[in-house]
Every structure is written in C-alpha cells, then in structure tokens.
C-alpha cells in the first residue's frame, strides 16, 4: 500500500513563515495518551494516567533540521546498498534523509547479525527531527525496495511542541526515547489494537516496556486534528499513529521487527556495528 506525500508539512511551513514574519502567536493544541497496559501489567507496575494538557506555542518552532553526518568507517558495500535502496524507494521516501536511512539500515543489519531482530526484510524508521506536521514515519519493504506505509507519528509532550527537542528514557518523563526497538506482542487496550515495544539501547530506551511505550492509534494524530491545529498532538512518549492507518502499520511490523526512532543526539551501540552490518549484508542481503 502506498501513501501520498503529506500536504500538512508544506502547509505548516507556509504558516510558520507567515507567522514569524508577522510576529503572531502559534496555535494552541492539546492531547492526551493513557498508554494502556499490556495483559501482564501486574508484573510491570500500574499504568500511568494522563489528562489533556493544553500547550501554547508563542511562535512556530524553527524548521531547520539538525545536520546528520554520514557514519564513519562504513564499508563501501553497505553505503552503496543503502544509496541504491533509497533510490528504489522513490518519491515516497524523498523526505527520508539518506543519513537517517543509513543509520536505520546499519542498525537493522547489525541487529539481524546478532539475532536481536527475527523478522527480516521490513524496517520502520521515524525521523523525529522533522516537525510533527509532516509524515515522518516510514515502513519499508527492504527486499522489494518500496515504501509500505508512510504516516504521521506523535512524539511525547515532554519532548517539545512542533519539533521534538528533548528525549528521555526516564519513567514519567512523557518524552520520546530515541534508539532501536524490537516489536513485541499485540493486545487490545483503550486505544484498540496496540503493539508493545522493547528498547534495545541500554540507558537510551530500555525502559520502554516499563513506560508502556507502544504503537497505538490516537485521535490527536488524525486528519481532523491536523486540519484544526496544523500539527499532531502529543503522547506520553508513545509513537502514536493515525486512526485510519494504525492497524495496517501495526500488522506490517510483526513481533521481532525493527523500528528506529531517530532524532538529534541519537546514540546507539548498533551504529558502531558497521563490520557486522557488512557481514550480514554480504551473507543474506536485506533478508
């Protein structure tokens, strides 16, 4: 399934430029995310509660993206394979920065080499440096070189407003935590079908299960919310999805799949595994 490029990011850029030029205030937005517990919640502790929190933005955030340097000492075989993949993905991945895709692919290959990711051939990557007004989540079919889904995705209300600027692994921080995740089982929560996430970067996102960080639907990521506010609302740290796409996206990432939440300051030991990534690519390709 292919999705059309987001129009809301372009609309927001126009509004942001106009607002900065005129010195007018940005829109008020609010959102809540109860982040329902999984069936074994008694083992993880009580699920956090949340209430709607109005957030006022005096002026639109800067839209200048944080530069991402190419990975050092990356074998040419991997770099060229990623460049070819990006070309194959076509216009739907035009806003997926090559440097971000490179990091996602290197981590995916290193994790596959170590046996930490069991589902091969599919990779999800969210560039949280992009404003939430844009479709900044991609689900990729690596073998076929195509975009399966592209959608909006929320960041935690503790991470910023239009742009995510602060990231945390701390319980009750309400922040997004950067790093690589392994998809876990699904369950039916207050948001409907949800998929739990296990953080694979120690000290960076390994509290994901205890924080109830899951993939789920949220009204504040809906088209109606975007039309009203010009951006999506805020979660308590979950990468919340649009109600009209969440089920398909969750089902496209079965248990054992790889998800990268990328953003400024991303650190991961899996990005140091360039040699392992090259071995995995040589032995099995993108499988």
pLDDT digits over 86-106, tens only?
Answer: 999 999 999 999 999 999 999
Query: Does pTM top 0.85 for this prediction?
Result: no
pLDDT score of 224 more than 60: yes
Region 160-166: mean pLDDT is 94
Alpha helices in the chain (DSSP H): 8-22, 41-44, 76-89, 98-113, 223-229, 246-252, 274-284
Position 43 confidence tier, pLDDT thresholds 50, 70, 90: very low
| pLDDT at site 277 | 97
| pLDDT at site 52 | 32
Q: Report the range of poorest mean pLDDT among 8-12, 168-172, 209-213.
A: 8-12
| Residue of higher predicted confidence among 60 and 129 | 129
Residues 282/116, Cβ–Cβ less than 8 Å: no
| Distances, alpha carbon 195 to alpha carbons 109, 135, 186, 223, 244, in Å | 22, 20, 4, 22, 16
pLDDT score of 199 more than 50: yes
Q: What is the mean pLDDT of the chain?
A: 84
pLDDT by residue (tens digit) across 227-265?
999 999 999 999 999 999 999 999 999 999 999 999 999
Sign of the CA dihedral running 102, 103, 104, 110: positive
| pLDDT at site 62 | 63
Position 61 confidence tier, pLDDT thresholds 50, 70, 90: low
Region 115-141: mean pLDDT is 97
pLDDT score of 194 more than 50: yes
Local structure of residue 236 (DSSP, 8 states):
S
Position 49 confidence tier, pLDDT thresholds 50, 70, 90: very low
Q: What phi, psi does 154 have (nearest 5°)? A: -85, 155
Length of the chain: 287
């Amino acid at each position: 399934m292919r999705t059309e490029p987001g129009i809301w990011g372009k609309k927001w850029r126009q509004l942001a430029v106009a607002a900065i030029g005129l010195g007018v205030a940005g829109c008020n937005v609010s959102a809540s995310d109860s982040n329902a517990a999984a069936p074994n919640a008694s083992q993880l502790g009580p699920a956090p509660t949340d209430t709607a929190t109005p957030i006022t933005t005096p002026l639109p955030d800067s839209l200048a993206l944080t530069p991402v340097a190419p990975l050092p000492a990356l074998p040419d075989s991997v770099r060229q394979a990623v460049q070819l993949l990006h070309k194959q993905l076509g216009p739907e991945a035009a806003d997926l920065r090559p440097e971000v895709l490179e990091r996602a692919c290197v981590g995916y290959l290193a994790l596959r080499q170590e046996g930490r990711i069991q589902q091969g051939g599919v990779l999800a990557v969210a560039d949280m440096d992009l404003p939430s007004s844009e479709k900044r989540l991609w689900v990729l079919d690596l073998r076929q070189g195509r975009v399966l889904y592209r959608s909006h995705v929320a960041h935690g209300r503790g991470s910023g407003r239009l742009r995510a600027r602060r990231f945390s692994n701390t319980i009750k921080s309400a922040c997004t935590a950067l790093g690589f995740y392994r998809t876990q089982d699904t369950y039916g929560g207050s948001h409907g079908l949800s998929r739990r996430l296990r953080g694979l970067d120690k000290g960076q996102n390994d509290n994901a299960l205890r924080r109830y960080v899951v993939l789920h639907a949220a009204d504040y990521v809906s088209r109606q919310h975007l039309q009203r506010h010009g951006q999506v609302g805020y979660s308590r740290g979950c990468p919340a999805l649009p109600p009209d796409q969440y089920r398909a996206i969750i089902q496209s990432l079965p248990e054992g799949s790889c998800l990268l939440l990328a953003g400024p300051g991303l650190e991961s030991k899996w990005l140091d595994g360039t040699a392992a990534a090259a071995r995995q690519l040589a032995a099995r390709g993108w499988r």
